[in-house]
Structure 1
Amino acid sequence: MGVFERLLSVWVALAIVAGTLLGNLFPSLFEVLSGIEFAQVNLIIALLIWLMIYPVMVQVNFESITQIAKEPKGLILTVVINWLVKPFTMALVGWLFFKGVFADFIQPETANEYLAGVILLGVAPCTAMVFIWSQLTKGDASYTLVQVSVNDVIMIFAFAPIAALLLGITDIIVPWQTLLLSVGLYVVAPLLAGLLTRQRLKSKASSQQHNVDSVLQNFDARMKPWSIVGLLLTVVLLFGFQAEVLLTRPLDIAMIATPLLIQTYGIFAITFIIALLIKLPHRIAAPACLIGTSNFFELAVAVAISLFGLQSGAALATVVGVLVEVPVMLSLVWFANRTRHWFSPN
């Protein structure tokens, strides 16, 4: 790992500061950029995330996917945490803070909206950034792809019923455009591009009598800096889009962020301990822990806006989820890498 990658947390911190400052200095520019979207998916951020994901997809070995059936524990852990644990712990933690700890500081209606927002985040497991966290922990790219794909399939059927149950709303309308567009942009398209690139690199290595693994590793090394640049630019844009809120409503941001942080670190801890107990190898355990802690924020934001409105507390809560995710996830990536020796190396 080069110096640039080792100091990634420093660059992200600078990107957060830069985004916040630029967003306040040039609000009209960021307003225009934030408006370049379709179905609640910002197309510029989508392009940057695609840039991050594409090199990971090149490392996906379709020949090894058939072997995943021999290691089902990581996939089972992902499903259980994301759909039987995470939504309910998020609802509980949110209720404890917005109805208890912070009850004297916010109006009951606002508390209800904040609670709804964090619940929507808890019911929407991540689709895109998981691939980046997996790459940073040297996770198994093929296994991560299967974990994300299974999550996406379950989301189609489980998101609305679980959200309706926890929100107490009987009619949850799933924004299918947002869901399908995000899956297409963040999974299908880069996967196809990665597959074609992988085949081309393998053919080139074969014709030149080079080692295939070495060629793939060299490609990954050349692309990794671009992935990190994509991550940093994404952070700048996300914080630039919300710069005004960050500076004008810091107390609200802090109150929403508190249960989100507790939930994120708590879910990671639960998954991490279970992964140790069932003896998962680190290449599977690390992504499994990180999948359970990150969120599909485009979906959560879209549903919050459709149910409660653009200026609602629910929409604000989902946006805060976006802002805290990258710094928090990087801290968990660091922890996962530092504890690699606790797991089986296989």
Structure 2
Amino acid sequence: MIIGVVVGVFAKDGVDKTLNNLEWHGTPIPLLIGLLIMIFPSLAAVEWELFPSLFKSASLWLQLTVSFLINWTISPFVMLALAWITLPDARMERYRRGVALVGVARCIAMVMIWNTIARGNNNLCAMNVIINSILQIILFSPYALLFVNILASASSSSPNMEINYQQVATIVAIYLCLPLAAGLLTRLIVKLSMTSSGENRFFNWINHLATIVFANQGKEVIDNIGKVFRTMVPLALYFIIMWSVSFTSFYSLHKRRSQQHKWIAKLSTGGYEQIVAQSFTASSNNFELAIAVSTAVFGADAPETLAATLGTLTEVPILLLLSYVALYLRRRLQW
């Protein structure tokens, strides 16, 4: 991320020339490649072969239902509320819309990393990722129109700044269907042809291409540093609040599971690993998709795109820190 920002600041003209000369569906092709590569390694690491047996678990279905309710009925509105509370003025409206767009993009990639660091339930996390990927193909477009065009916008907003359903649906198809297919195919090829060390070297190499994402916005970050810090406030609050509330709520259920109804007791039987997987799924976002949509709709240098990019710069350090907080709590609470 740091390298990308530095490149964007000191090589702005070169970055712009490269990105502007190669576009597909309104998105620069180098940026498209960088965003896709940020998504598909996590999807390729999913153990798809275990899914048939996992689907037979009733407790897993209950966990997935709870995850759906948190991710699609609570989280987007929490982000929207924080955006309005911290960015209420007219000059921050486009940044507010970008923050709202991040809120409706549920995480399908980085959550696997946080869950692994914190030693959460990998199977549950992987299932949440796949379910959220499928749901985003269906729900992201109408959610984006509702939250960005209506709920996050002032009544006097220009119609020219509104996002279009067909355009968003096309972008979603590109940025979600392609990584899903590529992830499944890559998983199959890697399992058949590579050793574990070769697999690690492969994914470490392709992850460096994500630098393109931050190079694209490096100059904008520095030139708008005041607005950048303001925009990071609702994002930071969101990640901390959603993780803390989710972790505390699931932990409370776990401690009192013997006193609960049968279905609540079943929800809280997974212990630390399950709680961590749910907490990071609730607090993470698919900033790659938010960046792709805002770039194609508003432009690479738009405030909405900058806000979406800041989602990454804010999420990574905070959720990395929370991963180690989770490990500390595991020892402290003697799980």
TM-score normalised to the size of structure 2? Answer: 0.76
Q: CA deviation at 1:151?
A: 1.6
- Aligned residue runs from structure 1 range 1-346, under 5 A: 16=2, 18-31=3-16, 34=19, 38-39=24-25, 40=27, 42-46=31-35, 48-49=37-38, 52-53=41-42, 56-58=45-47, 61-99=50-88, 103=89, 108=90, 110-167=91-148, 169=150, 172-173=164-165, 175-198=168-191, 200=192, 219-220=195-196, 223-224=199-200, 227-228=203-204, 230-231=206-207, 234=210, 236-279=211-254, 280-305=270-295, 308=298, 310-341=300-331
Equivalent pairs counted in the alignment come to 304
Which amino acid in 1 is paired with 2:42? I
Offset at 1:119? 0.8
* Contact persistence 2:35–2:288 (CA under 8 A): no
Distance 1:31 1:326, change over 3 A: farther
CA distance in structure 2 between the partners assigned to 1:240 and 1:342 by the alignment: 40
After superposition, the Cα gap between the structure-2 partners of 1:192 and 1:341, relative to the gap in structure 1 and judged at 3 Å, is farther
In structure 1, what is the equivalent of residue 157 of structure 2?
none
CA RMSD of aligned residues (A): 3.3
Q: Structure 2 vs 1, CA of residues 343 and 31 (structure 1 numbering), >3 Å: closer, same or farther?
A: farther
Q: TM-score, normalised by structure 1?
A: 0.74
Residue 37 of structure 1 deviates from its aligned partner by 5.9
Structure 2 CA distance for aligned equivalents of residues 186 and 135 of structure 1: 20
Q: Structure 1 residues 22, 314: closer, same or farther in 2, change over 3 A?
A: closer
Contact 1:52 1:228 in 2 (8 A): no
Residues of 2 paired with 1:196 and 1:173: CA distance?
A: 35
Query: In 2 relative to 1, CA 303–229 (structure 1 residues): closer, same or farther, beyond 3 Å?
Result: closer
Q: Which runs of 5+ in 2 are unaligned?
A: 151-161, 255-269
Residue of structure 1 in register with 2:159 after alignment? none
Q: Which runs of 5+ in 1 are unaligned?
A: 1-14, 202-215
**Aligned counterparts of 2:304 and 2:39: Cα–Cα separation in 1:** 27
Deviation larger for 306-315 or 90-99: 306-315
C-alpha contact (below 8 Å) 2:4/2:212 kept by paired residues: yes
Structure 1 residue 46: Cα displacement = 4.2
Distance 1:164 1:306, change over 3 A: same
Contact kept, 8 Å, 2:6 with 2:215, in 1: the verdict is: yes
